[in-house]
Amino acid sequence: MKTSGNTVLITGGSAGIGLALAGLLSQQNNKVIITGRNPERLAAAAQQIPGITTIVSDVSNGQDVTQLVATLQKDFPELNMVINNAGRAYAYELSATASIADKATDEMVTNYFAVIRLTEQLLPLLQQQPEAAIVNVTSIVAFAPGAHISTYSASKAALRSFTLSLRHAIAPLHVFELMPPLVNTEFSQEIGGSNGIPPQQVAEEFLTALGNNDYEIRVGATEQIYQLTLSSPAAAFAAMNNNGVPA
């Protein structure tokens, strides 16, 4: 997949990994569009990265997605890359009073069902392009769940499964899976994000893999956990939970 000259949509692009991806892709002469729910954060991102386009849109809202797709079809008919980065996560102890079902529903809608909805609606536009790609951002916990983020882990495992099937179903379109470990972002502070890698590292490893058509992008410690799951899933789970999430 080419790394420049693309028109790229990044959901959840106003902060963290999404913002790092937007900045690096913009530097590589790509046209970048970012979405998010917060207009102020989108405006701040536009100040930080001159030339990007911002669209207020909530991927978990079906009407917002339909309007977003209509806008893209009208204003960006050359769109050829979608990075499904928007996410929702809760950290909590499993208990009868943790409102688990509500939290899990929120996570699954944002992290899984929203990706399917947006992908389905954008496929006709992507399939018109000479070369196109979908990038789904999962996580290290798609391989070994974190005990305090159990339902978030389950949502990312579901997205990984869907991504594998999607890659087979829509070839020759490129389907990448970006799998970060713990990353130091505002999003991850509740689960010790200050111990994580910088989002810029995720963006840089993604760009290299994109150019090489490396469809499974296991960033940092994700590769170690992946290899450990092949020999001992129990050891991988212990590594994720006994000593914190690897970075």
Active site residues: 152
Phi, psi of 52 (to 5 degrees): -80, 155
Say how far apart CA 72 and CA 22 lie, in whole Å: 17
Residues counted in the chain: 247
One-letter amino acid of 188: S
Measured N-to-C along each axis, helices 114-126 and 150-169 cross at an angle, to the nearest 10 degrees, of: 20
Both ends of the chain: CA-CA distance in Å?
28
Query: Using CA of residue 175, residue 81, residue 202, residue 207, what is the dihedral sign?
Result: positive
Say how far apart CA 66 and CA 138 lie, in whole Å: 23
- Under 8 Å between Cβ of 119 and 134: yes
The backbone region for 84, taken as left when phi is positive above 0, alpha when psi lies in -120 to 50, beta otherwise, is beta
Say how far apart CA 146 and CA 191 lie, in whole Å: 10
Say how far apart CA 34 and CA 42 lie, in whole Å: 8
